């Protein structure tokens, strides 16, 4: 049974007697040495398993093992095959006992060349990996050097270890001259003064001011000038060494832009406040003298009418009328300014219902007139209900007014589509206008009719235009003299 085991083993095994004569070699040993069992049995062991280059006889480890009676494991050995090839082997030697006496030894040899092949492959693998590592390090270096953000690393005492090109350009230091300096050199006061404390406190307590969050601070260039920068700090541990990585971005341009926006906002707020104050004083102060003019003209007519001839009375009534007209204009400007100032609140607005409501109000106010209207149903839009009411009120009011001299007045509110955009319109068959003046319609105080023809202050359509624009829409008009007008708007 032992023989069967020996014969099926991959390791070479031989047995020799005390006189170095081979007693047995297994098939693996035959393959390893190139000698057959028969050939080997006639030879001393060192001729089959020896290395002619080594002093096998003098320092034979097998003899040493036989002498001590102790097995020797995993010895390095080398043998020269029958064909001259050299094989490195791991050798294990055990003494062979017979009735308590050492009679020889069993030697097992493991061919190391396979393991060596394996190791060679592994070494090649490792070399490839390290080459790849080198390449990715190159890549990382390239990225880090060309990245827009500045990167600086410091050790736990604040000493700069390294900075990338962007940081070096940002601060005006060459990487070589900054290495070894304290990071404080890159900070203006008060950051400079406080940095040691920050760092110490963080290392002691772990209480971070900036680490892991990022904030806006001031950086100091080599020439002493400062600049705003965004700074983020990360803590790293490399080979047990605690260090900090700072990523900085010069935000001078952004700061300038922000300041400009801030300045502009302040300017606008001031302008708005002034406008509001102006509106207030218009409402208060400019109306009072007008009331005086109108009131005193009337008082003169009433109290001293019998002393005045008809021309004088006409003059007084003109003063009266003019002042009332100016009062209305002021009121309309105020309405316009309020409408443009008001915050837009976007809701669903049923324009059809609104148009019908406004038209019936107009009809109720002006009972004597028969005006037919057509209002398209179910026109619902998104917009500010109050402001859209002002828009429709002006447009329908205009239509009502300008059809005043027409026998069968007709007003229509509807909509159609133009390239996926809903276009709403108010159409009338009234006085119309000359298209040559179409662009004048929406200017403030611009009127295409005299006040004797049609009352008005010239603010209505200017208000409509502003409100439609505030809804992100457009407004325009089409018309012909005496053939009516159509006012279009989008939202």
> Which spans of this chain sit near other proteins (rule: CB under 8 A)?
280, 283-285, 287-292, 294-299, 320, 323-324, 326-328, 330-331, 334
Rounded distance between C-alpha atoms, residue 354 and residue 350, angstroms: 6
| CB of residue 146 to other proteins, shortest distance in Å | 59
Secondary structure (H, E, C), 395-460: HHHHHHHHCCCCCCEEEEEEEEEECCEEEEEEEECCCCCCHHHHHHCCCCCCCCCCCCCCCCCCCH
| CB of residue 324 to other proteins, shortest distance in Å | 5
Specify whether the CB–CB gap between 249 and 149 falls below 8 A. Answer: yes
Residue closer to other proteins, measured from CB, 295 or 385: 295
| CB of residue 329 to other proteins, shortest distance in Å | 10
| CB of residue 451 to other proteins, shortest distance in Å | 16
- Cross-strand partners of 159: 182
Residue closer to other proteins, measured from CB, 294 or 412: 294
Could you count the other beta carbons within 10 Å of the beta carbon of residue 296?
15
Residue closer to other proteins, measured from CB, 27 or 327: 327
Specify whether the CB–CB gap between 148 and 249 falls below 8 A. Answer: yes
Residue closer to other proteins, measured from CB, 299 or 344: 299
Q: Sort strands 226-238 and 347-350 into parallel, antiparallel or unpaired.
A: unpaired
Buried b (16+ CB within 10 A) or exposed e, 399-436: bbbbbeebeebbbbbbbeeeeeeebbbbbbbbbbbeee
| CB of residue 322 to other proteins, shortest distance in Å | 11
| CB of residue 279 to other proteins, shortest distance in Å | 8
Dig out the tokens for 8 from the structure. 């099926």
Rounded distance between C-alpha atoms, residue 6 and residue 12, angstroms: 9
Residue closer to other proteins, measured from CB, 291 or 382: 291
Residue closer to other proteins, measured from CB, 291 or 416: 291
Residue closer to other proteins, measured from CB, 258 or 276: 276
Specify whether the CB–CB gap between 352 and 377 falls below 8 A. Answer: yes
| CB of residue 201 to other proteins, shortest distance in Å | 51
């Amino acid at each position: 049974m032992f023989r069967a085991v020996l014969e099926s083993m991959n390791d070479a095994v031989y047995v020799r007697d005390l006189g170095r004569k081979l007693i047995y070699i297994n098939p693996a040993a035959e393959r390893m040495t190139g000698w057959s069992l028969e050939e080997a049995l006639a030879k001393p062991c060192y001729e089959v398993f020896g290395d002619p280059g080594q002093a096998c006889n003098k320092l034979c480890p097998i003899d040493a093992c036989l002498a001590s009676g102790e097995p020797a494991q995993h010895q390095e050995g080398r043998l020269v095959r029958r064909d001259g090839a050299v094989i490195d082997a791991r050798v294990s030697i055990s003494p062979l006992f017979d009735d308590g006496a050492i009679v020889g030894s069993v030697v097992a040899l493991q061919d190391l060349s396979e393991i060596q092949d394996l190791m060679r492959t592994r070494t090649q693998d490792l070399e490839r990996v390290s080459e790849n590592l080198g390449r990715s390090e190159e890549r990382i270096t390239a990225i880090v050097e060309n990245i827009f953000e500045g990167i600086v690393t410091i050790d736990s005492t604040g000493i700069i270890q390294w900075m990338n090109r962007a940081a070096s350009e940002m601060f005006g230091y060459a990487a070589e001259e900054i290495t070894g300096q304290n990071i404080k050199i890159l900070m203006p006061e008060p950051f400079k003064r406080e940095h040691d404390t920050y760092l110490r406190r963080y290392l002691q307590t772990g209480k971070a001011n900036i680490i892991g969050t990022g904030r806006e601070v001031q950086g100091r260039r080599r020439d002493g000038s400062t600049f705003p920068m965004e700074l983020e700090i990360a803590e790293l541990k490399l080979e047990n060494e605690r260090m900090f990585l700072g990523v900085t971005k010069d935000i001078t341009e952004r700061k300038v832009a922000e300041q400009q926006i801030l300045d502009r906002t302040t300017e606008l707020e001031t302008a708005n406040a002034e406008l509001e104050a102006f509106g207030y004083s218009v409402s208060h102060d400019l109306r009072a003298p007008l009331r005086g003019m109108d009131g005193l003209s009337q008082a003169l007519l009433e109290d001293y009418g019998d002393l005045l001839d008809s021309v004088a009375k006409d003059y007084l009534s003109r003063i009266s009328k003019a002042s009332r007209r100016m009062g209305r204009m002021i009121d309309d400007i105020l309405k316009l300014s309020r409408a443009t100032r008001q915050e837009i609140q976007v809701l669903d607005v049923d324009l059809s219902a609104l148009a019908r409501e406004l038209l019936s109000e107009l009809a109720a106010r002006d009972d004597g007139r028969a005006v037919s209207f057509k209002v398209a149903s179910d026109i619902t839009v998104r917009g500010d209900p109050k402001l859209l009411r002002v828009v429709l009120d002006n447009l329908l009011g205009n239509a009502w007014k300008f059809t005043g001299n027409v026998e069968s007045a007709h007003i229509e509110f509807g909509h159609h589509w133009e390239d996926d955009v809903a276009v709403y319109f108010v159409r009338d068959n009234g006085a119309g206008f000359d298209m040559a003046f179409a662009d004048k319609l929406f200017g403030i105080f611009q009127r295409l009719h005299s006040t004797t023809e049609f009352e008005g202050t010239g603010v209505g359509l200017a208000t409509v235009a502003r409100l439609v624009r505030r809804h992100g829409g457009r407004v325009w008009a089409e018309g012909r003299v005496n053939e009516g007008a159509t006012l279009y708007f989008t939202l």
